[in-house]
Amino acid sequence: MIDKRVPDLSAAVAPIHDGAAVMIGGFGSSGIPMGLIHALLDRGARGLTVISNNAGAGEVGISALLREGLVSKVVCSYPRTPGSIWFERRYEAGEVELEVVPQGTLAERIRAAGAGLGGFLTPTAYGTLLAEGKETRVIDGIGYVLEPPLPADFALVRGEAGDRWGNVRYHATARNFNPVMAMAARHTIAEVRTLSDTPLDPHSVVTPGIFVHAIVEHGERP
Amino acid sequence: MMRLTEDQIAARLAADIPDSAYVNLGIGLPNRVAQHVPEGREVFYQTENGLLGVGPAPLPGQEDPELIDASKKLVTTLPGAAFFDQAESFAIMRGGHLNIAVLGAYQVAQNGDLANWATLDDKHPPAVGGAMDLVAGVPQILVIMRHTDRAGEPKLLERCTYPLTGAGVVNRVYTDLGVFAVTPDGFRVVELAAGNSLDEVQAETGARLLA
């Protein structure tokens, strides 16, 4: 029988080890797996590489991981959101490495990892600082940059509803990076607002359960 | 000098957005353009975090914390709206499906080069977001910005001094002093804000303006 449910948040993050590369879904304040992040904070795994669109804000979520010194590298498109105090402090002190990736390239590199691709050619960033040192091609007069896939050890994603098979559906703009990240990690952990014993309507499933390894209910909305 | 307010610049730009256009608005001043689209036009806004058909701010009591735009502001959906994930959202942007993107800028050069993601200040981390994807894939790039920076230095230049977001990508620039088209010969004045002469505006511009 397939049953990916785990009893609680701390059991869900127990496999996350020091030095792991961890994808974290969310954009701004929506679709962030806040319960899983705070369980990871309690677990205290160190030397993490965090792959996410933003670098957190305030004293919660990714910002709290940075505050506690658990993060050694951030891969993101937009670290400079209002309230990203802990990222800025760690960055200014040289305590965290930053890789800035254009948002669409970030999403597609993650998707490529999940889809078994060796990379892709994108016109994004061609001729800019972010393409320096990268292989380029000109096809039909348009310049492209070769971008590699971006996999991870773990993905933490947040959905609206899930079932024991690991299927997840999302609410509104909380979908964002969650579906592509779910595909791209060796071990994907989904936090859902409601976890049901009955299967989700297959029409409504956005992340098929095959991509999810553990699923846990966390009713609080961030 | 007579200077347009930010809302006046946004309204001037909005007048150039045709009916039925699919448009992406950047964070900050570009976001205000949505409030000024003339009556009778149906314009569909995309927000890159995963929504096409962005509606106005919700009424009190109807806020949905998981329904936000790229500025992280609470929004609503319009009839005909759709949600999608990041990979699909950037396929919309990079794949040439939108008609217009409206962006802010630190600098624009007379050849259409755009700089809007990083300064030369090492202390502050650079933040690119979706800007490079938009300029790579959207056919019409409209810039909305103040004509000069806080120190009074020109932002319309012969060449950008900040790192580029994209080379030769800008079509038009809307500022508090007028509207300027990027042409093979440089910046052409489409119109000047009422009350200013070409010489006065030229004095605040770092590239030659063509009448």
- Confirm whether A134 is domain-assigned: no
Q: How many CB atoms lie within 10 A of CB B152?
A: 8
User: pLDDT averaged over chain A?
Assistant: 96
What is the arithmetic mean of pLDDT over A2-8? Answer: 97
d(CA A1, CA A151): 28
Cα B39 vs. chain centroid, distance in angstroms?
Answer: 21
**φ and ψ at residue B136, rounded to 5 degrees:** -75, -25
d(CA A200, CA A190): 15
Confidence of residue B17 (pLDDT cuts 50, 70, 90): very high
Q: Which positions in chain B touch A174 (Cβ < 8 Å)?
A: 66
- Confirm whether A42 is domain-assigned: yes
Cβ separation B164–A129 shorter than 8 A:
yes
The tokens for B177 are 């002093």
| Residue among A128, A175, A177 minimizing CB distance to B163 | A128
Q: Name the percent of chain B lying above pLDDT 90.
A: 92
CB-based contacts of A39, cutoff 8 Å, min separation 6? A9, A10, A12, A13
Q: Which positions in chain B touch A175 (Cβ < 8 Å)?
A: 50, 83-85
- Residue bearing the bigger pLDDT, B17 or B127: B17
Q: What is the largest CA-CA distance in chain B?
A: 53
Confidence of residue A76 (pLDDT cuts 50, 70, 90): very high
| pLDDT tens figures, B177-208 | 999 999 999 999 999 999 999 999 999 999 99
Cβ separation A78–B127 shorter than 8 A:
yes
Question: Looking at the complex, does the CB of residue B120 fall below 8 Å from at least one CB of chain A?
Answer: no
Question: Looking at the complex, does the CB of residue B166 fall below 8 Å from at least one CB of chain A?
Answer: yes
- Confirm whether A24 is domain-assigned: yes
Report the number of distinct structural domains present in chain A: 1
- Confirm whether A140 is domain-assigned: no
- What range defines the domain where residue A52 resides? 9-117+149-217
Q: What CATH number does residue A68 fall under?
A: 3.40.1080.10
| pLDDT tens figures, A173-203 | 999 999 999 999 999 999 999 999 999 999 9
| pLDDT at residue number A23 | 98
| pLDDT tens figures, B47-78 | 999 999 999 999 999 999 999 999 899 999 99
B-facing residues of A in 23-52 (CB < 8 A) are 27-31
- Confirm whether A144 is domain-assigned: no
| Residue among A103, A124, A172 minimizing CB distance to B66 | A172
The tokens for A120 are 């892709």
| Residue among A28, A101, A129 minimizing CB distance to B72 | A28
Ordered domains of chain B (ranges, CATH): 6-210 (3.40.1080.10)
CB B127 within 8 A of CB A80: yes
Cα atoms found within 13 Å of the Cα of residue A211, Cβ hemisphere only: 24
**Min distance B62 CA to chain A CA atoms (Å):** 14
Residue A128 gets the label, from left (phi > 0), alpha (psi -120 to 50) or beta, of: beta
Q: What one-character-per-residue DSSP string does B56-114 give? A: -PPPTT---TT-B-TTS-B-EEEEEEEE--HHHHHHHHHTT--SEEEE--SEEETTS-E
Whether residue A94 is predicted with pLDDT greater than 90 in this model: the reply is yes
Chains A–B, number of C-beta pairs less than 8 Å apart: 142
- Confirm whether A2 is domain-assigned: no
| Residue among B72, B90, B166 minimizing CB distance to A103 | B90
Closest CA to B96 of B140, B131, B138, B52: B138
Q: Active-site residue numbers of B?
A: 48
One-letter amino acid at B182 equals: V
Q: Which positions in chain A touch B165 (Cβ < 8 Å)?
A: 128
Question: Looking at the complex, does the CB of residue A153 fall below 8 Å from at least one CB of chain B?
Answer: no
| pLDDT tens figures, B97-149 | 999 999 999 999 999 999 999 887 777 788 899 999 999 999 999 999 999 99
Confidence of residue A222 (pLDDT cuts 50, 70, 90): low
